[in-house]
Amino acid sequence: MLIYVDTPFNEEQKDQLTYGSPEDLFVFKDEIESKEEQLATLLKADILLGNPKPVEWLEKANNLKWVQLYSTGFEYYRNIKIPAAITNMQDYYSQPCAETAVGGIMALYRGMDNFGVLKKEKKWVGYTLRAHLQLLQDKKVVILGYGNIGKRVAKILSGFDCEIKIYARTAPEATIRTTDDLLKELGWADIVIGCLPGTAETKGLFTSEMIRAMKQGAIFSNVGRGNLVEDEQVLIDALNEGKLGGAVLDVTAEEPIPADHPLWDCRNTILSQHSGGGNVSEYFGIAQFFLENLERFKKNIPLKNPVDFGRGY
C-alpha cells in the first residue's frame, strides 16, 4: 500500500516506520520538493499519516481508505467529507498536557518564573519574596472538561489534597453542568483549568463575565483550545490589573502570537506555546501507534481512536 506521511518525523522515526512495515511504500512529504507533487502523491495514497494543509487537499483525496491524524484535535477537518476512516491520538497527549498545567501553576505559586528572571539578572532577593509564595496544597479547583486531560489533571491534584469541582455536560463525575452554575462557582475557586476540546459548544464558553466573576488572585490555566476564552483582552486586563494572580496558557486565540501581542508582556503569565503535549519520545510514540493501528487495518480489526465527528472529538 502507498502511505503518504505528512508528519514531521526525523530520519530515525522514518526508519521506525519503514522497518516496521517493509511491505508498504512510505512517501514522506518533506522529501517531495513541489506542492504539486505532494498533492499528486496524496491523491494516489491508500493511507495518510498526518494532518495535511491546506485542508482542501484532504477533501480531494477520495482514494484514501484510512487517515491517522497525529493530533488529538481535528477541528480544521470537521467539515471535510471523505469515505476514509479517520482516527486520532485521543489520550496520547493527556499526561504531558496535565503536567504542563499543574507544573505552570506550581511555578507561579512557588515563584519559579520570577526566580528565573532574577537568575538572568544576577539578583539575590529571595528573602523578600518568601512572604509572597503560595502552596498548591488544599487549593480549590474548577476543572473545565472531564475528558482524558481533565481526568489526569484531577488525579495529579488529588495528591495535593485539592478540593475539585468538575464542569462537564455529560461526565457522571461532574458537579457543574451548566454555564449558569459555572458562573456561580467561579468565586469559590483558587484555580480554573480549561481542558475542553475545540467544538462549537466550547467556543467562547469562558465568557468575560466569568473572568470578572473569578476570585481575586485566582489563577487561570488553559491546556484545551485557545478559543475557549470569549475575549482574550478581558483576560489580559484582569491579569495586568491584578484581578487575577496569574495564568498558564498553553493555547491562545492566535497562534503563533505576533511580536506585538500584549500577552508577551502580561504579568504573572506563563506561555508554553502549544507545547503542552510534547515529550522527548513524542514522535516515536506516534509512529509506534500508527504501526499498531496499521496491523489492525490490515486484519480488518476495528481501529483504535476513531474520530466522532458528531461529538467533535
Does 138 have pLDDT greater than 80?
yes
Query: Distance between CA 151 and CA 132 in Å, rounded?
Result: 30
CA dist list (Å): 286 to 9, 192, 292:
9, 30, 10
pLDDT value at 198 more than 90: no
Average pLDDT of span 16-34: 97
Apex CA 131: angle with CA 165 and CA 163, to 5°?
10
pLDDT tens for 67-76 read 999 999 887 7
Residue type, 186: L
pLDDT digits (tens, 9 = 90+) for 72-116: 988 778 888 888 999 999 999 999 999 999 999 999 999 999 999
pLDDT average, residue stretch 253-257: 96
CA distance linking residue 286 with residue 71, whole number of Å? 9
Of 199 and 43, the structure prediction assigns the larger pLDDT to 43
Distance CA 304, CA 296 (A): 8
Residue 241: which residues within 8 A CB-CB, separation 6 or more? none
Residue 274 annotated among the catalytic residues of the structure: yes
Give the architecture-level CATH label for domain 94-271.
3-Layer(aba) Sandwich (3.40)
pTM, full prediction: 0.94
pLDDT at 278 over 60: yes
Is the dihedral angle over the CA atoms 270, 273, 223, 197 positive or is it negative?
Answer: positive
Interstrand relation of 47-50 and 219-222 (parallel, antiparallel or unpaired): unpaired
Q: Which of 181, 237, 188 is nearest to 215 (CA)?
A: 188
Residue 146: strand pairing partners: none
Taking all residues of the chain, what is their mean pLDDT, rounded to a whole number?
Answer: 95
Residue pair 95/276 in contact (Cβ under 8 Å)? The answer is no
3-class SS shares of the chain: helix, strand, coil, % to 5: 40, 15, 45
**Residues of the chain with pLDDT > 90: what percent?**
91
One fold for 2-92+279-298 and 94-271:
yes
Look at residue 249 and tell me whether its pLDDT is greater than 60: yes
Confidence bin at 308 (pLDDT 50/70/90) = confident
Question: What are the cell numbers at 138?
Answer: 488544599
Alpha helices, H only, the chain: 11-20, 35-44, 56-60, 94-109, 112-121, 126-129, 148-158, 179-185, 208-213, 232-240, 282-298
Cβ–Cβ < 8 Å for 289, 108: no
- In the block, which residue shows the cell 522529501? 31
Query: What is the pLDDT at residue 313?
Result: 57
Q: Note the pLDDT of residue 186.
A: 98
Catalytic residue among 78, 274, 282, 296: 274
Angle between helices 94-109 and 112-121 (to 10 degrees): 70
Look at residue 225 in the predicted model and tell me its pLDDT. Answer: 94
Catalytic residue among 11, 23, 33, 255: 255
Structural element, H or E, at residue 220? strand 219-222
pLDDT at 312 over 80: no
State whether residue 47 is helix, strand or coil: strand
Across the range 38-63, mean pLDDT stands at 95
pLDDT of 310 > 60? The answer is no
**pLDDT score of 200 more than 90:** no
Distance CA(277)–CA(96), nearest Å, equals: 5
Supply the angle between the helices 11-20 and 282-298 in degrees, to the nearest 10. Answer: 20
pLDDT at 142: 98
What single DSSP character describes residue 258?
P
Mean pLDDT, residues 202-231: 97
Listed range (23-37, 72-86, 200-214, 256-270) with the worst mean pLDDT? 72-86
Q: Which CATH number fits domain 2-92+279-298: 3.40.640.10, 1.10.10.60, 2.60.120.10, 3.40.50.720?
A: 3.40.50.720
Q: Among residues of the chain, what percentage have pLDDT more than 70? A: 98
Domain boundaries, the chain: 2-92+279-298, 94-271
